[in-house]
Amino acid sequence: MNTKYGYCSINRNLEEIWEISRNYWKSQKKIFIKHDSSYTTDKFGKLDLSKRRSLKQSEEYKINFARDPNDPNITYVRVFFEYYGDAFLGATKRMERTINEWINEFNIAPISFHRNALKEYEIFFSDMIEKYQLKSEKKTEVFCPLCGKKIEEGQKICQYCGSNIDK
C-alpha cells in the first residue's frame, strides 16, 4: 500500500471550490465520487473518490476542504491518497498527476506530496473535523410554546400541558 499527503490553499470560497471539484470529478472516467461519505458544510467539506483498477487493485482519494476561519475567501485543501493492491510501478506518480490535473482547474501551483502527514496541517484539519462533528452531534432542544417545558423533538402534543405543538 502506497500513501501520500498533499496540502495547498486556494484563494476562493469553499462553496465555489466544492462545486468546481464535484463537477470536475463527476466528469472523470473511472473515478467515482463516494456519495455516502462526501459532504460539505459552510466551513468544511470532504470528498471521497475511488478508482477500481482490477479485482486486487484500487486507488482511493480523500480530499478535505476547510474554510479559513479569518477569511471566507481562502480555502485550505488536504489530499490523501492510497494505492491498494499488488505493486504497480509508477502508481503513486500517476495518482499525483491525477490530483494535480484537478488542482490545475484553480490555476495554482501543483501540490507537492509527502510520504508522511505534516503535523501542522493535520492538526488544523483534525480541529475542523472535530468542530463539524460536535456541531452535527448536538441535538436541537425543543420546548413547548405554551408551558415552556422541554419535550422530545418531533412530538406533536406536550405531555405536560396537552397543547398542540405541531402548528
pLDDT score of 139 more than 70: no
Residue 18 three-state SS: helix
Q: Which residues contact 43 (CB under 8 A, 6 or more apart)?
A: 14, 66, 67, 69, 128, 131, 132
Q: What is the mean pLDDT of residues 157-162?
A: 81
> Over the chain, what is the mean pLDDT?
84
Residue 160 cell numbers, joined: 405536560
Q: Which domains does the chain have, with CATH numbers?
A: 2-117 (3.30.2030.10)
More confidently predicted of 121 and 20: 20
Least confident stretch, 69-78, 132-141, 150-159: 132-141
Q: What is residue 137's predicted lDDT score, i.e. its pLDDT? A: 47
CA distance 84 to 119: 24
Q: For 39-88, how does the pLDDT look when each residue is reduced to its tens digit (9 = 90+)?
A: 888 888 899 999 876 667 788 999 999 998 889 999 999 999 988 876 56
